[in-house]
Structure 1
């Protein structure tokens, strides 16, 4: 018998089928939910050098054998903002659907990688023990799937769990998470958790941690609570202190908050494409902004290495069909394409990407409002990024 979700769960799996509706949430999060700013700091914005390249005529080969040009890629991806940096200069920049350079945009799950970066920095400083159980830092998580997992398990999506005794279904649980942090997204008669902490408390282990890759938001929210307990500050303040205020960012960023004033760390972050590109450029340069080291070089240069023993070295992208080959790696909440250029990527639903390729001296920030549906083919973003990078690399 084919295993399917119960009929009463269908409301949770409807997804987002209208790009305009998706865009309302990707571009206007702080107008729809409580939010907390991530401060850009007192220093003036750091100029981004501009060295324009016309990429519109570049023929991009898609995995299915077809070709398309950049405007066609933008149409397929419902692109809102696109910034390409090569060798430290902005070579291509585009804004669509009313987006502007100063407009913060939902980063979705790309924000997971930023939290992973902060955790790696704190571990490098000796403030965070990767081998400790999460409950060592957050006693309230004791007995939950997250509390009985090591910090390193959380950083590698290494928990196996179910919520409130339900059979685990990634897509449905993602919708339930949205209902936790967004009361306006709750269906009529909703009686589930009203905060992130309440949601985490319902998770129970269904298998040993550290043996399987299972992409799940709760790992990141549990990790965020660990970091808050270690540092004594909010996720917004920590990101501002460790990263955002040192990038020369043009704009404050922000997180949306749940009913208890806790940041939706796994995906509730918004920032401009230019400032996200600045973050990527800092990592491409080994953690430095100008002559100042922001992220320890040992952290910035090991994002693509160090997947712990016991974890799969190859995993599938969350939206990929179940029969697709597992070709990516996953380390400290970053996706690793395993290409020849040492690339790594922060990735979020609806087409949010920060792509960093040290070997190609390339950084790309892409924001979009793409429909997520089996009936809509995903735009070939990563293949396009690599082809843009190799094209620029040959041109010098």
Structure 2
């Protein structure tokens, strides 16, 4: 019997542990695979007013070596881009490692939240039924773990799944998903699925949907297929129509594609820090850009309060230690912080964050290329974001 290779032997594991490989992936990944643009539209970019504020000396917490400053945070997170919006003004913007404001950067799993926003908007419009099963929209998924789940279950990571009969392991399945998307990451003799749809068809339920939380990419890819069937649009066109052409984006965004031409909806998205900040500012303003409502106010306003009955109110962040307390909530593919400021975020591997805090009048975008390893402590990004917001509010910065 052939032994399964340990994760350390798989090529994709370099994407967790090799700093040079990580930065190449986050900055140039869309150039290594087929991609499709998310069009920004023809309208002029919406200006981002600047009011420069010195945050470099701000105390962001305490570490074993002393006070944490922004330079320390950037080193720990291997930061590529950092942008802070306070009350609609750019108060701090920094690019490192040869990045610049026009460069699209992989958002990784932060893209899940953007798709969740699209789905919630379509549900609010009556185009999508949250209570319907995915197979009601995608008949081919009938009998699979995702096809038998409701749209609501997909939006809350509420499925229990086994792929191709193997026991579920989050790290292994993340590796296998990458092998589906990128042929160069497939081991010699690979005979598994070669498209996202084929991958979804191998999923079988190991528990009833809607009874727990398990962070798994397949939920998002199944949801993306549902949205394509409902609207008749590609994921790229849908995101463009509902969001990117309406937030005043400066640049096109991009999705990488599988060999069938489907977008990798759960994490294959690239955009600039400024445009992601525009998305966050729209949400901070209740779904509006100026006097134009982009996302229904009810959708934007219930990101932090809309966890449906029956779903867990506290879940554990994927990178958190197994014994850590479950303090976050998860709603419509957004992470909800349950802090005094109504903060929530989109989060992706290697340090991608869109942090929105209405109570602090704050939007923060962080792009990074951080090593993912038990030997490397995660950078305290969220705590730093909150401290920055509290400082800006208390100092009267406008």
TM interval, shorter chain, is: over 0.9
Quote the offset at 1:393 in angstroms: 0.7
The residue that corresponds to 1:128 in the other structure is 128
The residue that corresponds to 1:77 in the other structure is 77
2:118 aligned counterpart, secondary structure: helix
In structure 2, how many angstroms separate the alpha carbons of the residues matched to 1:157 and 1:79?
28
- Which stretch of structure 1 is more off in the superposition, 308-317 or 360-369? 308-317
In structure 2, how many angstroms separate the alpha carbons of the residues matched to 1:66 and 1:258?
46
The residue that corresponds to 1:318 in the other structure is 318
The residue that corresponds to 1:180 in the other structure is 180
In structure 1, how many angstroms separate the alpha carbons of the residues matched to 2:80 and 2:52?
19
Matches within 5 A, 1:254-265: 254-265=254-265
The answer to whether the 8 A contact 1:62-1:380 is kept is no
In structure 2, how many angstroms separate the alpha carbons of the residues matched to 1:271 and 1:278?
11
Quote the offset at 1:183 in angstroms: 0.9
The answer to whether the 8 A contact 1:80-1:99 is kept is yes
In structure 2, how many angstroms separate the alpha carbons of the residues matched to 1:67 and 1:347?
25
Quote the offset at 1:14 in angstroms: 3.3
In structure 2, how many angstroms separate the alpha carbons of the residues matched to 1:319 and 1:218?
18
Q: 1:360 to 1:99 in 2, by over 3 A?
A: same
The residue that corresponds to 2:56 in the other structure is 56
Quote the offset at 1:206 in angstroms: 0.1
1:60 aligned counterpart, secondary structure: coil
Q: 1:65 to 1:75 in 2, by over 3 A?
A: closer
CA offsets, 1:245-265, max 9 Å, x none? 011111000000000000000
The residue that corresponds to 1:88 in the other structure is 88
Matches within 5 A, 1:101-116: 101-116=101-116
Quote the offset at 1:67 in angstroms: 2.7
In structure 1, how many angstroms separate the alpha carbons of the residues matched to 2:137 and 2:13?
37
CA offsets, 1:127-183, max 9 Å, x none? 100000000000010000000000000000000010000000001100110111011
The residue that corresponds to 1:3 in the other structure is none
The residue that corresponds to 2:345 in the other structure is 345
Quote the offset at 1:91 in angstroms: 0.1
The answer to whether the 8 A contact 1:286-1:301 is kept is yes
1:85 aligned counterpart, secondary structure: strand
Q: 1:326 to 1:86 in 2, by over 3 A?
A: same
Quote the offset at 1:308 in angstroms: 1.4
Matches within 5 A, 1:138-149: 138-149=138-149
The residue that corresponds to 2:68 in the other structure is 68
The residue that corresponds to 2:384 in the other structure is 384
Is 1:253 equivalent to 2:253 in the alignment? Answer: yes
Unpaired segments of 5 or more residues in structure 2?
A: none
2:264 aligned counterpart, secondary structure: coil
Q: 1:230 to 1:395 in 2, by over 3 A?
A: same
Quote the offset at 1:64 in angstroms: 7.1
- Which stretch of structure 1 is more off in the superposition, 126-135 or 13-22? 13-22
The answer to whether the 8 A contact 1:63-1:380 is kept is no
Q: 1:343 to 1:148 in 2, by over 3 A?
A: same
In structure 2, how many angstroms separate the alpha carbons of the residues matched to 1:64 and 1:383?
16
Quote the offset at 1:220 in angstroms: 0.1
Aligned residues: 391
Quote the offset at 1:187 in angstroms: 1.6
Quote the offset at 1:62 in angstroms: 4.8
In structure 1, how many angstroms separate the alpha carbons of the residues matched to 2:274 and 2:391?
22
Q: 1:8 aligns with which of 2, 5, 10?
A: 5
The residue that corresponds to 1:26 in the other structure is 26
1:384 aligned counterpart, secondary structure: helix
Q: 1:96 to 1:133 in 2, by over 3 A?
A: same
Structure-1-length-normalised TM-score:
0.97
In structure 2, how many angstroms separate the alpha carbons of the residues matched to 1:64 and 1:167?
39
In structure 1, how many angstroms separate the alpha carbons of the residues matched to 2:98 and 2:190?
34
1:281 aligned counterpart, secondary structure: helix
CA offsets, 1:83-134, max 9 Å, x none? 0000000000000001000000000000000000000000000010000000
Structure-2-length-normalised TM-score:
0.96
Q: 1:65 to 1:158 in 2, by over 3 A?
A: farther
The answer to whether the 8 A contact 1:346-1:355 is kept is yes
The residue that corresponds to 2:360 in the other structure is 360
The residue that corresponds to 2:242 in the other structure is 242
